[in-house]
Amino acid sequence: MRRVPSRPRCLRTRARTLFVTAASCAVCRTASLQPRVSSSDPPASSDQNPLPSPRDSRARREGMESGGVGMGGGECRSNDYGDAAYWDARYSSSGSRASGGGEFFDWYQTYAALRPLLRARIPAASRVLMVGCGNSLLSEDMAKDGYKDIVNIDISSVVIEHMREKHKEIPQLTYMQMDVRDMTFFGDESFDCVLDKGTLDAMMCADDAPDGASKMLAEVARLLRPHGIYLLITYGAPKERVPLLSQAGCRWSIALYIMPTPRYQLKMSKGAPQSTMEEVALTEDGQLPPDYVLKDPESHFIYICHKLAVKEAN
Ligand SMILES: C[S@@+](CC[C@H](N)C(=O)[O-])C[C@H]1O[C@@H](n2cnc3c(N)ncnc32)[C@H](O)[C@@H]1O
């Protein structure tokens, strides 16, 4: 999926902020968005691959399954990921740990790995909305680390019930069943930060993609206070995600970090767990520099999107 440039040059420069001011949704005009959602990158103690094999005809039609069993690469493996019934089944207590029905499962990265970035960007007093929380440990770990107010939502009533019960003694965490495409329950500008680990990716695999994902992003922008942060952790490279983020109604300044998978980091550190991430300067039009090479081709992209105040956006 990802083009590997011929002239490798590692960028360790200070990230430049990108001001995205596109007036319309480029996503709706392109068919090239093919995120792949998978849970291939759990912490060492987690299951290696809790996903079922793909059965999605659309994905097959679009050649999205062709990446082999390796994870990442921006492809979508199943459009079930946008389906509440799919997630309910997956999170049901009868489900095996390997299918996500266990006590917890963290997609992509853990709090330990993300902590330096989160602590630096999100003050502990922030009101945080965790979209598509699943049964991840992220919110619990953040609360233990001093975060005061984390509202968790997910489309799966099964996982919300489970998490509400599990965390009933942690007042910093609240849980609500909700669809990210319609969060009208919350008022405008009611959060300082929206955290998304894998949920936009799931939306991009849904039957209604990319429209559902666009609705989600419009809602995220509405819910954030000016200068609030949408922190997106995704398999989607800037080529796929920046046009989506630039849709009508969303005005962001974006900084990008790239983080190798835990598996890659473990391999490179030869056994001693490590957390590394690189801040990357985007081009004027919000892309990776043409000669940029991903050290780990399966890397996760972390977009720190600051909501611009109206006068900044115009
Ligand atoms: C890839 S998992 C990520 C889970 C968790 N954030 C993590 O990092 O482990 C995607 C999550 O999004 C939820 N989801 C999918 N579609 C949704 C929607 N329309 N509204 C709210 N949550 C949704 C799923 O139930 C699932 O828990």
Query: CB within 8 A of 276, min separation 6: which ones?
Result: 259, 260, 265
C-beta of 219 in contact with ligand 1 (< 6 A): no
**Interatomic CA distance for residues 177 and 155, integer angstroms:** 6
Residue 9 pLDDT more than 90? no
| Sign of the alpha-carbon dihedral angle for 23, 28, 31, 36 | positive
Average pLDDT on 6-35 reads 28
pTM above 0.85, yes or no: no
Residue 183 pLDDT more than 80? yes
Residue 195 pLDDT more than 60? yes
C-beta of 139 in contact with ligand 1 (< 6 A): no
C-beta of 154 in contact with ligand 1 (< 6 A): yes
Atom of ligand 1 nearest to the CA of 108: 8
pLDDT of residue 296: 93
Cβ(304)–Cβ(19) under 8 Å? no
> pLDDT band at 299, cuts 50/70/90?
very high
- Shortest-distance Cα residue to atom 4 of ligand 1: 134
> pLDDT band at 75, cuts 50/70/90?
low
Atom of ligand 1 nearest to the CA of 81: 15
Render 266-310 in DSSP notation, one character per residue.
HHHTTTS-----EEEPPPTTS---TT---SSTT-EEEEEEEEPPH
Question: Which one of 137, 155, 161 would you pick to mutate in the ligand 1 pocket, going by the greatest count of ligand atoms within 8 A of its CB?
Answer: 155
Q: Are strands 278-280 and 300-307 parallel, antiparallel or unpaired?
A: unpaired
Tell me how far the alpha carbon of residue 5 lies from the centroid of ligand 1, in angstroms.
33
pLDDT of residue 231: 98
Average model confidence (pLDDT) across the chain: 77
Tell me how far the alpha carbon of residue 104 lies from the centroid of ligand 1, in angstroms.
13
> pLDDT band at 74, cuts 50/70/90?
low
User: Domain map of the chain by residue range?
Assistant: 36-99, 107-313
Average pLDDT on 88-117 reads 81
pLDDT of residue 250: 84
DSSP E strand boundaries for 137-281: 149-154, 173-177, 191-197, 224-234, 252-259, 278-280
Chain centroid, CA 199 distance in Å:
5
Find, among 43, 61, 13, 33, the residue nearest to 214 by Cα. Answer: 33
Q: Which CATH superfamily is domain 107-313 in?
A: Vaccinia Virus protein VP39 (3.40.50.150)
**pLDDT tens digits for range 249-265:** 789 999 999 999 998 88
More confident residue, 122 or 267: 122
C-beta of 100 in contact with ligand 1 (< 6 A): no
Average pLDDT on 195-203 reads 97
Q: Which of 111-115, 269-273, 276-280, 295-299 comes out lowest in average pLDDT? A: 269-273
**Interatomic CA distance for residues 73 and 37, integer angstroms:** 9
C-beta of 35 in contact with ligand 1 (< 6 A): no
